[in-house]
């Protein structure tokens, strides 16, 4: 059924869904309605290159369900984007929003492009064209976009401007993750990384680990990974190793994170920072440390890496970093690693996006302190709910988190019913 989504990433999301549906004893005939996206749109996005030639990119937007409110989810610009990956990410967004008790279904979008090869003008043209093509399918009460891999505040500003030009008035609530100067919220850019670090500190309390003096490794040094590095560094944790798609560095004495942040602000990537501490990017996550943070792309923790992990906490900042096979290996390991599953770990981003949407709808803006306090409160509530369910049912934190998310969507669909 629904062959268009077939592929390793959707397969993984489907298997995770089935495991949770089994725990919740959801009848077989109700499962497809919960699993398959309500709507998937494919668009072609032609733009002029700087040299005057024309090029066409493929784009997608998948809206998983609209049962609890509008759909919500990021837009990714990456070479690997395909409709199966986008659909899987929309499912994970659904369980995440539901777990956090937000009034949203999940969505995700993407363009198959290497954004690093585009000039600023080409990037703007592509961003505007993507939103233009999707105007009939999105809206502040239908589907609200946000940044993800390869997109940022500027791209959101172009999305918002394109939508607003069509509407004939400024519609700030059409996207989140915008610059504060045009309706964005305080704290959104750092929200995902700060949320990840907050839950690392909760997990550390659970296993009685002091973050001051602990050690960490981080894969991915974009929006999320760089904020986690900064936050951990500020708490006295030694960041031993980091990587991005251009380079990987390892220093057993601990890396100078503020200096690396400055370098990346100037150069965009890690490459060129140092030639002395270069290391093998494939080995980053398996370096002996207290906290390992995959903060790049899906499926970087496979069964081989899972066997070799030497951390006490695996904080899944990225979406879908751990494969089903790796999960089985981790479950069988005698030295239990405390896993903070992705839909819980990185939920700070969508939670502050929700705060941004609420502020935009009301045109009433909050202080950063209020945002961070509310964020921590919601994340704590979800964290303790997940670990309590995991203990009660004897299941993994991932399965417990998926169950919490799925259950609410299932109940809401049942209550709303189907047309006779
Ligand atoms: P980003 O584009 O800002 O950064 C991605 C980083 O990953 C870059 O440093 C890139 O070089 C690196 N990378 C890509 N491929 C890699 C590889 N094979 N090995 C090592 N590094 C690699 O994206 P981001 O917003 O930081 O997102 C990172 C992850 O967090 C993604 O999985 C995303 O879906 C997830 N996430 C992001 C947010 C958010 O608010 N931005 C929210 C929730 C989840």
Protein residue closest via CA to atom 28 of ligand 1: 296
What is the reported pLDDT for 1? 64
Q: pLDDT at residue 367 above 90?
A: yes
Distance 207 CA to ligand 1 centre (A): 27
Stretch 385-398: mean pLDDT: 97
The string of pLDDT tens digits covering residues 210-235 is 999 999 999 999 999 999 999 999 99
What is the reported pLDDT for 3? 87
CA 317 to ligand 1: nearest atom: 30
Please confirm, yes or no, whether 108 is among the known catalytic residues: yes
CA 244 to ligand 1: nearest atom: 21
Q: What is the mean pLDDT of the chain?
A: 97
The string of pLDDT tens digits covering residues 130-163 is 999 999 999 999 999 999 999 999 999 999 999 9
CA 319 to ligand 1: nearest atom: 32
Q: pLDDT at residue 29 above 70?
A: yes
Distance 49 CA to ligand 1 centre (A): 26
What is the reported pLDDT for 419? 82
Please report, for residues 180, 320, 362, the alpha-carbon distance to residue 256 in angstroms, rounded to integers and kept in the order given: 29, 29, 42
206: CB partners within 8 A, 6+ apart = 338, 387
Phi, psi of 3 (to 5 degrees): -60, -25
**What is the DSSP pairing of strand 54-63 with strand 39-48?**
antiparallel
Protein residue closest via CA to atom 19 of ligand 1: 245
What is the reported pLDDT for 150? 95
Judged by DSSP in three states, 74 sits in strand
* Helices and strands, counts by H and E, the chain: 14, 11
The string of pLDDT tens digits covering residues 70-95 is 999 999 999 999 999 999 999 999 99
From 108, 178, 238, 312, the catalytic residue: 108
H/E segment holding residue 90: helix 83-99
Question: CB–CB of 355/366 below 8 Å?
Answer: yes
312: CB partners within 8 A, 6+ apart = 207, 209, 290, 291, 337, 338
Q: Which domains are delineated in the chain?
A: 8-171 (3.40.50.10860), 189-340 (3.40.50.720)
Name beta bridge partners: 106: 72
Distance 19 CA to ligand 1 centre (A): 27
Model-wide pTM > 0.85: yes
Label residues 151-185 b or e (16+ Cβ within 10 Å = b). bbbebbbbbbbbbeeeeeeebbbbbbbbeeeebbb
Protein residue closest via CA to atom 42 of ligand 1: 349
Compute the distance between CA of residue 113 and CA of residue 79 in angstroms, rounded to an integer: 5
Compute the distance between CA of residue 396 and CA of residue 389 in angstroms, rounded to an integer: 9
Of 100, 219, 222, 353, which is best to mutate to test ligand 1, by the most ligand atoms within 8 angstroms of its C-beta? Answer: 222
| DSSP per-residue letters across 386-413 | HHHHHHHHT--HHHHHHHHHHHHHHHHH
Around ligand 1, the residues with Cβ closer than 6 Å are 147-150, 192, 219-225, 243-245, 281, 295-297, 317-319, 346, 349
| DSSP per-residue letters across 246-281 | S-EEE-TT---HHHHHHHHHHHSSSTTS-SSSB--G
Q: pLDDT at residue 97 above 90?
A: yes
CA 221 to ligand 1: nearest atom: 9
Please report, for residues 16, 301, 322, 378, the alpha-carbon distance to residue 401 in angstroms, rounded to integers and kept in the order given: 11, 19, 14, 14
Protein residue closest via CA to atom 23 of ligand 1: 149
Stretch 191-203: mean pLDDT: 97
What is the reported pLDDT for 74? 97
Percent of the chain with pLDDT over 90: 98
The string of pLDDT tens digits covering residues 230-263 is 999 999 999 999 999 999 999 999 999 999 999 9
């Amino acid at each position: 059924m629904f062959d268009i989504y077939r592929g390793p990433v959707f397969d993984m999301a489907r298997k995770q869904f089935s495991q949770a549906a089994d725990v919740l004893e959801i009848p077989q005939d109700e499962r497809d309605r919960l699993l398959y996206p309500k709507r998937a749109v494919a668009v072609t996005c032609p733009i002029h290159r700087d040299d005057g030639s024309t090029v066409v990119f493929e784009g997608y937007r998948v809206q998983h369900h609209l049962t609890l409110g509008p759909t919500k989810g990021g837009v990714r610009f990456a070479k690997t984007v395909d409709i199966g990956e986008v659909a899987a990410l929309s499912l994970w967004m659904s369980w995440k929003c539901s777990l956090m008790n937000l009034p949203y279904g999940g969505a995700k979008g993407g363009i198959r492009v290497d954004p690093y090869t585009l000039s600023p003008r080409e990037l703007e043209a592509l961003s505007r064209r993507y939103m233009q093509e999707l105007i009939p399918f999105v809206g502040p009460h239908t589907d609200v976009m946000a940044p993800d891999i390869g997109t940022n505040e500027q791209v959101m500003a172009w999305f918002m401007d394109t939508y607003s030009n069509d509407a004939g008035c400024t519609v700030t609530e059409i996207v989140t993750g915008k610059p504060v100067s045009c309706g964005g919220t305080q704290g959104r850019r750092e929200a995902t990384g700060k949320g990840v670090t907050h839950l690392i500190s909760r997990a550390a309390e659970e296993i009685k680990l002091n973050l001051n003096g602990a050690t960490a490794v981080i894969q991915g040094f974009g929006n999320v990974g760089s904020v986690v590095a900064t936050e951990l560094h500020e708490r006295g944790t030694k960041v031993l190793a980091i990587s991005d798609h251009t380079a990987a560095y390892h220093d057993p004495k601990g890396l100078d994170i503020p200096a690396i942040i400055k370098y990346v602000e100037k150069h965009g990537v890690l490459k060129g920072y140092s030639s002395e501490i270069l290391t093998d990017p494939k080995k980053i996550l398996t370096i002996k440390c207290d906290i390992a943070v995959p903060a790049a792309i899906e499926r970087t923790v496979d069964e081989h890496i899972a066997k070799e992990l030497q951390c006490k906490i695996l904080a899944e900042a990225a979406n879908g970093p751990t494969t089903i096979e790796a999960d089985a290996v981790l479950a069988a390991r005698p030295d239990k690693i405390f896993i903070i599953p992705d839909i819980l770990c990185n939920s700070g981003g969508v939670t502050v996006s929700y705060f941004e949407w609420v502020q935009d709808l009301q045109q009433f803006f909050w202080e950063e302190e209020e945002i961070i306090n509310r964020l921590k409160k919601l994340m704590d509530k979800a964290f303790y709910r997940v670990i309590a369910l995991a203990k009660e049912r004897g299941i993994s934190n991932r399965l417990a988190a998926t169950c919490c998310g799925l259950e609410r969507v299932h109940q809401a669909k049942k209550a709303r019913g189907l047309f006779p």
